[in-house]
Chain A
C-alpha cells in the first residue's frame, strides 16, 4: 500500500522534470499562430484548355420569335406584320331638304284681275250669261289676267331653290308658266341636267283644253300633252291631268326616254335654263257640279260682266324631278348656295366620315332626288361611279421588334447588300388602285429619323383568280429591293406569289433605310401626310357599306453585308459576389492566353472591362490585353476569316492591379469598388466581300492557359 504512494511521487517527478528541463521560447506562441499562408510565389499555369466552336448561332441567342432567323444556312432579318386594316366607309348619302319642293296641293284660281274699281268687274269678253250649262268661252287672257297659287303671289317663284316656277299666267287663251333653275351660274357646275321623273298638272274638270305643250329648254322642241279626264278617287269628281312625264322603273334609268325627258341642261347664263309649259284653254264648262261657278252680269246693264271662279278645288302641279348624270361635289353644291340658305349635307357627316370623305373625295354617278312626299324632299344616293381619293389613317409602323442585342447597339450598321421589303396591298373595291406618293422613313432606336426613301405612286388594276369556285381578288405585292433580280422572298403563309400581283420596285437606296437599324419604319405620303389610296375609276359602287384597304408588310434581308456592316455584341455579367470568398485570399494577378480561331467573315474586336456593382469600371483592377504578344491599348482585333481560310491570332488577358496592390484587393467586401462582374463587347465589322453571316461560323479558343501570378495568399484576418 505504501508503495502506491510512490506513484504520484513518480508522476510529480516526471512532470517536474518535463517542466524543469525545458525552457519556454516566447517566440512561439502556438495559441496565437498567424495562419496566413501563401501557396506558390511565381507563375503557375493550369494545363491548356479549349472551348468548343462558339458558333454565331449560339452566340446570338436568337429567340424563336425574334427578328433574326436562319434559313438555308443564312441569317435573315425577317419580320412581318400587318397594319391595322383601314376602312373606306361609303355611307348612305342623303342630301337633306334641298328645298326643291313643295309643289303640291297648289290651288289655282282663275281671277279676273281687272275686276274692280279701276277696270270694273269685267267679264270675259263674249261671255254668254245664260249659257249656264254648256257654254263656250273663248278669249285670250290678257296681261291683267293670270293664275295665282294659293298662299302665294303668283309673281313670286313657286320654289325658292333649285327649281322655280315663273311667269305663270294666262297668255291669251293659254296658261303658261316657266320652270327654271335658280342661280344656274353656280348650279350648273354640279347639276348639269334636270329630268322629270314624273310630272303632271292636275286641273279641275271644266276647262276645255285642246292641247298642252311642254318645251324643255330654249332650243328644245316642244311636245304635246293630251289632257286626260279621270275620276278623282278622293272626291269622285272628274278631273283633268296633263301628264308630261310618267315615272319609270328604276332599272330604266339609262333608257333613251330619259334623254327625252330632260327638262333642260343647266347652263351658265340662265336664259337657257327654262322649260315652258303652255296649256291652251278654249272654254270653260260650267254646271251645277262644275268646278267653276258663274256670276252673271247685272241684267239690263250694258257692259255688265259676270265672273267665273273656281269652286273649292285646286289645280295641282305634281311631279318628281330627277337629276341624272351629274357630277355632284358636295363642296361645289354647298358653294352654289349662300351660307344663309339651307345647305346640302351628307347624312352622318361625322368627323370620321370627314376623313372618309374629305374635300378631295368626288363621286360621280346617279343620284335620285325624291320629291314624292310632302316635306320630305331628301336626296338619297344609292350608288356612285367615279373616283375616290381615300385618305386612310396613319398605318402602323413596321416595327423591328425582338431584335437581338447585337443589333440594338448605337454603333451597329446594318449595311446589307440586298435588303428586301415586301408590301401587300389588298383593297376590296373592284377598281384600279393607286397609292399616292409613297415614302418610307426609318425611325431611330432612340428617336429621330435616320433615313427617308421615296417609293413614288404605286398603281395597279385588280385581278382575280378562282379559288374553289369562288372568285377572289389578287392583292398587290410590292417587292422593294435595290436589286430586284435577286429577290429572295420566303414563302411565308399569306405571301404566296401565285395569287398576288407581283410588282417589283427597284429602290436603290433601300439599304440606307436599314443601315442604322431602325426601331420602326413609317410609311406615309408626301410630306408626312396620311396615306391616300386613290380609286380613280369606281364603277357603280354601292353606298352604305364598308370597304377595306389592308396593308401587310414583310422585311426580309439576308445578312449579306456591305463595307459598312457592323454589329456589336455587348453585355455584362454581374453578380459574381466573390467578396465573401476573397476576403481572406490575395491573388497578385491572373493571366489568360489562348489561340483564337475565327471563320467569321468579319473582323472581330474584343474588349472586356471589370466593373463594380454599379457598372463602373474598377480602378483597382485592370485587364491588360495582348494580341500576338503585344500589349493592345484598345480592343483586340481578330482578323476576318472565311470557312475555307479561318484566321487565327494569339490573345491574352492579364488581370492585374494598376498599383502595387493585388487584384484580390478589388474582390474583397471591404473594397470601395468591389468587382461584381465584367462588361464585355464584341464588335464585328469590315467583312469579307460577298460573304454572308452563317449560323455555323464560329470563334474557338484553343491552347488556352490560365496563369496564377504571384501565388495565392490566405490571410488570417484575425492576425491582421
Chain B
C-alpha cells in the first residue's frame, strides 16, 4: 500500500514538475470553440474574445517519448521482468526499441492570454513561459547490454537539451476574402537559460581480440548570463592537464539573451470547390535567441584504446601490477568523459525549434455539427524532431459545447485523444488528451511514455457563433 502511495506521489510530482508541459494540444486544432487554436495556427480567426485565468488558461500536462515502460518491461511466466531478463529473447527485447529514442518535455504556460476582435480581425496577446527539455539516445546501447558480443557497437549519440525562455506574443489574424484567413504572431523572446549537451560518435569497438576502442565526443554549451564556473586543474591519463570545472555559481543574474520569432498561419476554405473542406497550415516559432554568454565544456575527443593488460606483473617480476593497469584503464575511460572548461566563448544564437502544421478539415455540409480533420504536425528540432498524423472526429451538438475523439500515428507511436469543450458566455472550460493512457500497470503507471492532459479555464467575452447547415 505504501508503495502504491509512493508511486502515485511520484506520478503526480512528475506531472506538476512539468506543469503545463506541452507539446501542442493537437486535439483542439479542429475544435472551433477552442480559444487557443491560434497557438497552433495563428491564421485561425478566433470566434470568441477571452481572457485567461492566471496560468490556468491552457494547462497541459504530459510527456512524449517513443520508448515506454511497456517497451522494456515484459511478462514472463507471470512475472514482470525487464528486457534484460534471460527469459526475454534478444528479438523480443529489442523489438520495440527504436534506433533513435527520445523523450521530450515541452512547456508553454500562458501567464496571461487575451484574445479580442479588432483591427479587422482577431488579436491576441500572451505572455508565456516556455521550456523545452529533450533527451535522445540510440539503441545500440540496449543491444550491447542484451547481446554483449565481440563486435562493434555504434551507440550513436546521446543528448540533452534544455531551453527556457519567456515569450511576449502579439498575434493578429484576419480573413482575406471569403475563403482565406491568415495570421501571424510576433514574439519577443527573453532567454532564461539554455543547456545543450551532446555526445557524438559514441562507439565501442569490441570486435578485435587485440584491442578495444571507445570513442566519444562530448560537448556541452550553457547559455546562462552571469554563470561563474570555477575551474581546477586535472591530469589526464597521458599526463597532459586540463581545466575542469569545480564549482558553479551565478553572479549578476539576468536575461540570458533576447530574440524574436514569428508564427505564421493561414486557412483556406475550399467551399467553392468542395463544400466543407478547409485546409490550414502554420509555421510556428520561426526565430532565434541570441544568447549573450556561451560557456563551453568538452572532452578531449580522443579515442581510448585498450590493448589488454600487457606485461602483467607476476611474482614480483618486471611487469606492471594488474591493479595498476586496472587503474590506468579506469583513468583512460575517465578521459572519455572528463570535460574541460573551454570558457565563455561569447554570444551565440540558437533556434527554438520550428513546428509545421498542416490541417485538412471536412465539415459535413449537411450536418455542420460534425467534421473530420486530419492534422499533420512536424516539429523540426534536430535530434528532437518528431512527426505526427492525427485524424479527428469533431462534434459540436450545441453552440456552447463540443467534443472530439481522435487518433494519431507518428514518432511517438499510435495514440488516441479526445477533447471536451464547454464554452457558454462567461466561461470556457475544456479538458482533453492527445495521448490517452491506454494501458497502465497495476500501480496505474503508464506503460507508454506518451501521456498528457490539457485543461483550461478562460472567460470568453461572447458566444460562439451559431453554425447553420
Contact = CB atoms under 8 A, between A and B. Distances in A.
B469 interface: no
Nearest to B458: A3
B208 A21 contact: no
B312 interface: yes
Nearest to A698: B317
B426 to A, nearest CB: 9
Interface of B: 3-4, 7, 53, 56, 59, 61, 69-70, 73, 75, 79-82, 84-86, 90, 145-150, 208-212, 306-320, 418, 427, 429, 431, 433, 436-447, 451, 453, 455-457, 459
Contact of B314 (A45, A47, A51): A51
Contact of A39 (B4, B59, B84, B455): B84
Given A48-B308, A54-B315, A6 B457 contact: yes
A25 B444 CA distance: 9
Nearest to A21: B436
Contacts of A48: 209-210, 308
Contact of B7 (A6, A28, A30): A30
Interface string A27-38: 111111111111
Contacts of B436: 21-22
**Closest 10 interchain pairs by CB?**
A52-B319, A40-B148, A37-B84, A47-B308, A27-B75, A22-B437, A49-B309, A58-B315, A28-B441, A52-B317
Contact of B438 (A3, A23, A59): A23
A40 B147 contact: yes
Contacts of A22: 436-440, 444, 446
A559 B206 CA distance: 47
Contacts of A6: 427, 429, 457
A221 interface: no
Interface string A53-73: 111001101000000000000
B80 A32 contact: yes
A34 B79 contact: yes
Interface residues of A, number: 54
A526 B67 CA distance: 95
B315 A18 contact: no
Contacts of B456: 10
Contact of A29 (B80, B82, B84): B80
B4 A31 contact: yes
A39 B206 CA distance: 15
Nearest to A699: B314
Contact of B82 (A19, A24, A37, A46): A37
A303 interface: no
Contacts of B4: 31
B312 A31 contact: no
Nearest to A710: B86
A32 B445 CA distance: 13
A37 B81 CA distance: 9
A47 B306 contact: yes
Interface of A: 3, 6-7, 9-11, 13-14, 17-19, 21-55, 58-59, 61, 704-705, 711, 713, 719
A18 B450 CA distance: 12
A51 B311 CA distance: 4
Given A17-B453, A22-B440, A38-B86, 17 more contacts: A6-B429, A6-B457, A7-B56, A18-B437, A23-B440, A28-B445, A29-B79, A30-B69, A30-B442, A33-B73, A34-B80, A40-B148, A47-B210, A47-B306, A48-B308, A49-B312, A51-B311
Nearest to B438: A22
A44 B3 contact: no
A18 B73 contact: no
B211 A51 contact: no
B457 A36 contact: no
Contacts of A31: 3-4, 7, 442-443
Given A22-B440, A24-B440, A52-B311, A10 B431 contact: yes
B308 A46 contact: yes
A395 B70 CA distance: 88
Given A50-B310, A713-B86, A719-B79, A25 B447 contact: yes
A30 B8 CA distance: 12
Contacts of B210: 47-48
B114 to A, nearest CB: 16
Contacts, number: 183
Contacts of B418: 17, 21
Contact of B317 (A35, A38, A53, A719): A53
Given A28-B73, A30-B80, A37-B84, A13 B455 contact: yes
Contact of A21 (B150, B211, B433, B447): B433
Nearest to A55: B317
B457 A7 contact: yes
B85 A14 contact: no
Given A14-B61, A30-B73, A50 B86 contact: no
A713 B208 CA distance: 24
A11 B455 CA distance: 8
Contact of B315 (A9, A59, A704): A59
B433 A17 contact: yes
A32 B437 CA distance: 21
12 contacts: A14-B453, A19-B444, A22-B439, A23-B440, A39-B84, A45-B209, A47-B209, A47-B210, A47-B212, A52-B319, A53-B318, A711-B86
Contacts of A13: 431, 455
Contacts of A3: 53, 427, 457, 459
A140 B433 CA distance: 177
B209 A49 contact: no
Contacts of A23: 438-440
Contacts of A719: 79
A660 to B, nearest CB: 15
Contacts of B313: 51-52
A59 B314 CA distance: 8
A595 B307 CA distance: 17
Given A47-B308, A52-B314, A38 B439 contact: no
Contacts of A26: 442
A29 B453 CA distance: 24
Q: Quick one: which of B53, B148, B443 has the most chain A CB within 10 A?
A: B148
A33 B82 contact: yes
A49 B308 CA distance: 5
B308 A30 contact: no
B447 A28 contact: yes
Nearest to B454: A14
Contacts of A24: 439-442, 444
A37 B85 contact: yes
Contacts of A704: 308
Q: Which of A7, A36, A41, A52 has the most CB of B within 10 A?
A: A52
Which residue, of B70, B75, B85, has the highest number of chain A Cβ atoms within 10 A?
B85
Contacts of B440: 22-25, 28
Given A28-B69, A50-B308, A58 B317 contact: yes
Contacts of B433: 17, 21
A588 to B, nearest CB: 11
Given A22-B439, A22-B440, A28-B75, A45 B150 contact: yes
A41 B147 contact: yes
Contacts of B59: 10
Nearest to A28: B441
A652 B255 CA distance: 66
Nearest to B11: A18
A434 B443 CA distance: 103
A46 B456 CA distance: 58
A35 B82 contact: yes
A580 B79 CA distance: 26
A25 B441 contact: yes
Contacts of B86: 36-38, 711, 713
Nearest to B432: A17
A17 B420 CA distance: 11
Contacts of A51: 311-314, 317, 319
A49 to B, nearest CB: 4
A705 B212 CA distance: 13
B240 to A, nearest CB: 24
